[in-house]
């Protein structure tokens, strides 16, 4: 909902159809299709966001220490540069061939997370994302974006209605 309000078309659980050769390149011969949690496309800028979602609300949270995610296999697109390059290249080809996006989209990787572990080196995480041109949608970002919908007009969007109910309840408390 947040990205749609910012001009993106979104779809969840998008399947990237890797070729046999690409599966060999990433050493995942038996992988059926690569799944992207959330795909967001903005036609005006030809920007494509590849969003990996990790809520971890009732767990430790995302852990990033010593310049890496822990465990790295949980954050494959962020941790494996060969995999990232192959998947994102195939994604662009697949979307262009289907007419879902214009030629040469600007692809940005993003991590949306509900919780980041206290033991995480936040400064290093932010610098790592900035250096790679990636986006971090942490709980503070989500809260800020949801709060900005407080005065928006009515929309038949469950998340927006729930947000307004919760925010108004907090105002009157």
Per-residue pLDDT tens for 27-49?
888 877 899 999 999 999 999 99
Domains in the chain (CATH in brackets) are 2-137 (3.40.1350)
Per-residue pLDDT tens for 3-25?
998 999 999 999 999 999 999 99
* CA-closest candidate to residue 37, choices 16, 49, 51, 56: 51
Whether the model clears a pTM of 0.85, i.e. scores above it, the answer is yes
Residues 137-146, mean pLDDT to the nearest whole number: 90
- d(C-alpha 96, C-alpha 105), whole Å: 9
Q: Judge contact between 120 and 34, C-beta under 8 A.
A: no
Per-residue pLDDT tens for 88-114?
999 999 999 999 999 999 999 999 999
- d(C-alpha 134, C-alpha 3), whole Å: 15
Q: How many Cα atoms within 13 Å fall on the side-chain side of residue 19?
A: 9
Q: Above pLDDT 70, what percent of the chain?
A: 99
Token pair for 20: 């046999």
């Amino acid at each position: 909902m947040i990205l749609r309000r910012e001009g993106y078309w979104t779809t969840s659980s998008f399947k990237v159809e890797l070729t046999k050769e690409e599966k060999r390149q990433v050493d995942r011969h038996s992988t059926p299709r690569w799944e992207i949690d959330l795909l967001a496309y903005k036609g005006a800028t030809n920007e494509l966001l590849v969003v990996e979602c990790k809520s971890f609300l009732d767990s430790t949270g995302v852990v990033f220490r010593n310049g890496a995610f822990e465990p790295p296999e949980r954050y494959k697109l962020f941790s494996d540069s060969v995999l990232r390059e192959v998947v994102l290249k195939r994604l662009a080809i697949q979307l262009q061939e289907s007419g879902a996006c214009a030629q040469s989209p600007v692809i940005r990787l993003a991590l949306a997370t509900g919780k980041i572990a206290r033991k995480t080196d936040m400064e290093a995480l932010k610098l790592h994302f900035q250096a790679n041109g990636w986006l971090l949608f942490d709980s503070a970002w989500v809260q800020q974006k949801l709060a900005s919908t407080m005065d928006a007009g009515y929309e038949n969007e469950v998340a927006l209605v729930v947000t307004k109910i919760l925010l108004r309840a907090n105002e009157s408390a």
